[in-house]
Amino acid sequence: MLKAINVFKSKENFTLRYRTLMKTGLIIRVIF
């Protein structure tokens, strides 16, 4: 049970990081 929760959390963090990376990439693209 704990392992599954940890995996889910890491997955959630990964998606959040990916989204922020995409947002920053779009902002950089707009600026340059």
For the segment 1-32, what is each residue's pLDDT rounded down to a tens digit?
678 777 778 888 888 889 999 999 888 888 77
Whole-structure pTM value: 0.50
Tokens of 27: 């902002």
Q: Which two tokens stand for residue 32?
A: 């340059």
pLDDT of residue 1: 62
Q: Which two tokens stand for residue 12?
A: 């959630």
Number of residues in the chain: 32
C-alpha 9: how far from chain center: 11
